[in-house]
Structure 1
Amino acid sequence: MNEDCFNRAPGAERARHFPADPGLVGSTGNGDSKAPLFNQREPLRQPRTSPPYSENSTSAADAMVAGDFKRPSKHQPSANANSPSASRGFNEVDSLVQSSKLSASAPEFVPSGMNSYEDPSFCDDSTSYYEEQTLAETVTDFLAHLSSSPGSFESDVEQITAMLNSWVTTEELLNELVELIYTQSTAIPNFSYTGARLCNYLSHHLTVSPPSGNFRQLLLKRCQTEYEQRGAAVRGDKETQKKFHSYVLFLGELYLSLEIKSAKGPPNRAAILLTALKDLMNSLFSKPVDANLICAVKLLKLTGSVLDDTWKESGQRHMDELVRRIENILLDATCSRDVRQMLLKLVELRSSDWGRVRAAAAASNATPDNDPNYFMNEPTFYTQDGTPFTAADPDYGEKYQEILDRQEYFNDTDGENGSESELFDSEDEMEPEIEEAYETFCLEAEMRRKQ
């Protein structure tokens, strides 16, 4: 092989040898040639990945770190590849390659210091990678989901009920479930309505029924515990009052939502809750501070019409007694101006039958004279100049006829295309005088342009 070719053997010298330069050859007095002062060689190609530095290459490594390392030019002599340190470096590289366990055909590369992820489903042991959720965690997560997405109640309640039926099979678990739902329904803001709906659904679809009582009975017992502490709660500190007020509003929602099946006729509301709500409002009025009065106003706005109708049907005057207590509070209590205004609005609301209109005639016999809601759902129209009017307007018939005439004028069709396109086509045509003047203008403009 030509000696100018590269020697490709591993670890061999990679330099290309050139003839010595005659100008750099020493001579004696006899003209005999001596060995050249040094061999002119092309520098080594810089490797893509540097091999481990030998002990003699410390200065070069330091220079590289310092940013002063430069690739040697072709006119600079390179280090002798046959030096002991260089040979030792190449031998170390060879030994690393021979002892390496890396393979190009491996499916993936995992560094030695990294622990690979193992899918828990492939574990041989029977223990699960993740601990199974407890009943408290599952119910809490579900209630938080309903709180953030109350519209999903209908689609999700069947699934959670089926899961609870397979889970809650003992009296202990049922009591835990009741406590969880009660706590969350009174702790999460604005969740009392959804919590009451959930309680009603579970009372009809939860199958477990231990000797101590079913879900509804245990829930009412839990509510009775708070009911018996009402006297101390209305006089407690702010935190105690806040928890008690949340309980009162939840009980109001529960009275409206909880249905008890009857042997005959439609389901009824729980009569025990009716009595409890009356006593709770009397307790709130017994300590007429702002927080208690605000809670009583909210409860009466929520349940006032239903309570009033139920008491009237049974011949009881409990709502009249509550209104008299409110009037006495307005005269004597030192509540704030805003709370006083709320109480006045509540009395006015009750005097208007809780905002309901009972004199509305049947739909077939309704007229503007006997039905105040006659024009409630009528649309609003606009005249040509933008003036709004409804069916209650005295000139409704005349104005509405004008709209019909104008609509008929624009939408009166003649054939396939109709007269609307013909109307716009006629607007594009110019009268003879205007057309003549326009042609004259165009000619004059052309003449001026040419000049």
Structure 2
Amino acid sequence: MNDDCFNRAPGAGRSRHFPADPGLGVSTGNVEPKAPLFNQREPLRQPRTSPPFPENNTNSADAMVAGDFKRLQPSASYANSTSTSRGFNEVDSLVQSSKLSASAAEFVPSGIMQYEDPPLYDENTSYYDEQTLAETVADFLAHLSSSPGSFESDVEQITAMLNSWVTTEELLNELVELIYTQSTAIPNFSYTGARLCNYLSHHLTISPPSGNFRQLLLKRCQNEFLQRDAAVRGDPETQKKFHSYVLFLGELYLSLEIKSAKGPPNRATILLCALKDLMISLFSKPVDANLICAVKLLKLTGSVLDDTWKESGQQHMEELIRRIENILLDATCSRDVRQMLLKLVELRSSDWGRVRAAAAASKATPDNDPNYFMNEPTFYTEDGTPFTAADPDYAEKYQEILDRQDYFNDPDGENGSEFDLYDTEDEMEPEIEEAYETFCLEAEKKRKQ
């Protein structure tokens, strides 16, 4: 019996010719009637989406996520029915084991790194565990050094952070050492460092039995003070570190305020005595570096020290000036340093360059106020001579100016206007008039040419 009688599949016996795809390498010739069923058509493609299957094959899903699943590509091998069957079997097995779902929120291809938002700050976790105290102090001191103008706006936040962190005596000692070291090591930071020390001395809450922030800071400064005689005779590097300490102590004396029971806060008296002894040590070894440091310190604090010692009836500033005068006579310092010392002596003789307050405006006279005529305007006479209110003939000359203004600006017109003066024929000499007419004629001729 013919095999065609048993071909009971729907559409059996009908020949369907599909245009051959050149890319598949399939011949475009006549098709034999006994050819296999899928011999003349493209292989079925993988469905774009697959129905969900039970997620019981973990290995297959992992392999697909890792990129091992590869999409089947059309090729000439599909012309053979055996290879085609095998390919569909593989597709079916992969589809059944897949974890992909058409209802997924998004599709992320394998091999692409997914970005995850960093976790938000957890209040239960301390932020300061990520940095040490030394690193944090170094960071905000470097910030204040580069932006000293932000001190007022940042110091409150810095202090709040330190209050939440420095909770033990050991951490307080570490903080004092860090601020002292940075204040004497960073160039030109002694002023800002002293301001920070003053603020922390009033707003840092911790106060262990060994002392609060200010007391521990003064103890640290005392340790350096006790080594002053050896430091001024040490090597250049030792002297440099000592000079930084001296200038920081001067700034600390000007900035550090100690509250009093009555009245305004006072400066630390212990620092006042220390500065005097430090300058004596610097003058005891009158080399250029020590003398330059002493000059800088006196320019910085000289007026305040002088006033404080005068109020208490002490003559310490006179003693320091005598030492400087003796150094100018005997020491073999360089010419530039000698000139600096001379300028310092002159500065002190002029009351440190200060101008005392002038008398009140209501009581000021040329005799009691040297600035009485400072802001007075300058006037000029008819011939161009300048004069001010300090001129003995001021009243007479000023009245002449007023008379002249009244003559030219007469509201009644009795004296005529300024233009009437120049329009009168009597104001022009005959020679001048003739010359003017000649000029006008020559100008007219040139204009017509």
Name the residue aligned to 1:303.
301
Gaps of 5+ in 1: 21-49, 58-78, 410-440, 445-451
Shift of 1:173: 1.9
Give the corresponding residue for 1:242: 240
Residue 346 of structure 1 deviates from its aligned partner by 0.7
Matches within 5 A, 1:264-343: 264-343=262-341
Note closer, same or farther for the CA distance 1:258–1:375 as it changes in structure 2 (3 Å cut): farther
**Deviant stretches of 4+, over 6 Å:** 1-4, 12-20, 50-54, 86-104, 126-130, 379-383, 389-398
Q: CA deviation at 1:207?
A: 2.3
CA distance in 1, matches of 2:378, 2:97: 91
1:352 and 2:328 are equivalent in the alignment: no
Higher relative contact order (CA 8 A, sep 6+): 2
Q: Which residue of 1 aligns with 2:212?
A: 214
Q: Where does residue 229 of structure 1 map in the other structure? A: 227
1:109 Cα offset (Å): 2.8
User: 1:372 offset after TM fit, Å?
Assistant: 3.5
Shift of the 175–5 alpha-carbon distance from structure 1 to 2, 3 Å rule, reads same
Identity %: 76
Q: Against the structure 1 CA distance between its residues 162 and 295, is the aligned structure 2 distance closer, same or farther, given a 3 Å change threshold?
A: same
3-state SS in 2 of match to 1:245 = helix
Q: 2:114 and 2:387 mapped to 1: Cα distance? A: 75
Q: Deviations over 1:91-148 (max 9, x none)?
A: 999998998767785536364374754634499xx98899433322222222222222
CA contact (8 A) 1:258 1:269 kept: yes
Inter-partner Cα distance in structure 2 for 1:344 and 1:298:
13
Q: Which residue of 1 aligns with 2:176?
A: 178
Q: Deviations over 1:40-96 (max 9, x none)?
A: xxxxxxxxxx98999xx9xxxxxxxxxxxxxxxxxxxxx898489x98999999998
Task: Please state how far the C-alpha of 1:220 moved relative to its aligned partner.
Answer: 0.8
Q: Distance in 2 between matches of 1:314 and 1:110?
A: 85
Q: Is the 8 A contact 2:26 2:79 kept in 1?
A: no
TM-score, normalised to structure 1, is: 0.62
Q: What TM-score comes out, normalization by structure 2 length?
A: 0.63
- In the other structure, the counterpart of 1:448 is none
- Specify the code of the residue in structure 1 equivalent to 2:280: N
Moved more, 216-225 or 359-368: 359-368
Measured in 1, the distance between the counterparts of 2:121 and 2:313 equals 71
Aligned to 1:152: 150
Asked if 2 retains the 8 angstrom alpha-carbon contact of 1:5 and 1:16, the reply is no
Give how far 1:155 is off: 2.1
Please report how far the alpha carbon of residue 14 of structure 1 lies from its aligned counterpart in structure 2 after TM superposition.
6.2
**AA partner of residue 118 (structure 2):** D
Deviation at 1:273?
0.6
- The structural deviation recorded for 1:367 is 4.6
Gaps (5+ residues) in structure 2? 1-10, 30-69, 410-446
Secondary structure class of the residue paired with 1:269: coil
Q: Check conservation: 1:51, 1:89, Cα contact below 8 A.
A: no
Letter in 2 for 1:218: L
Spell out, residue by residue over 1:304-323, the C-alpha distance to the aligned partner (whole angstroms, 9 max, x if none): 00001111111111111111
Would you say the 8 A contact 2:231–2:239 is kept in 1? yes
Q: Where does residue 108 of structure 2 map in the other structure?
A: 109
Q: What is the CA–CA distance in structure 2 between the aligned matches of 1:83 and 1:375, rounded to whole Å?
A: 117
Aligned pairs, number: 346
User: What is the SS of the residue equivalent to 1:262?
Assistant: coil
> Alpha carbons of 1:166 and 1:18: their partners in 2 closer, same or farther (altered >3 Å)?
closer
User: Does residue 1:193 correspond to 2:191, yes or no?
Assistant: yes
Counterparts of 2:198 and 2:298 in 1: how far apart (Å)? 21
Distance 1:325 1:298 in 2: 16
Judge which range, 262-271 or 277-286, deviates more.
262-271
Name 2:249's counterpart in structure 1. Answer: 251
Q: Does the CA-based 8 Å contact 2:309-2:316 persist in structure 1?
A: yes
Q: Secondary structure at the match of 2:130?
A: coil
Separation in structure 1 between the aligned mates of residue 24 and residue 177 of structure 2, nearest angstrom: 86
Which deviations, in whole Å up to 9, do the C-alpha atoms of 1:276-321 show, x marking residues without a partner?
0000001111111111111111100000000011111111111111
In structure 1, the residue matched to 2:260 is 262
Distance 1:122 1:321, change over 3 A: closer
Cα root mean square deviation, aligned: 4.8
Structure 1 residues 226, 80: closer, same or farther in 2, change over 3 A? closer
* SS in structure 1 at match of 2:254: helix
Q: Is the 8 A contact 1:255 1:269 kept in 2?
A: yes
Residues in 2 aligned to 1:320 and 1:122: alpha-carbon distance in whole angstroms: 62
Contact 1:6/1:15 (<8 A) preserved: no
Equivalent in the alignment of 1:134 = 132
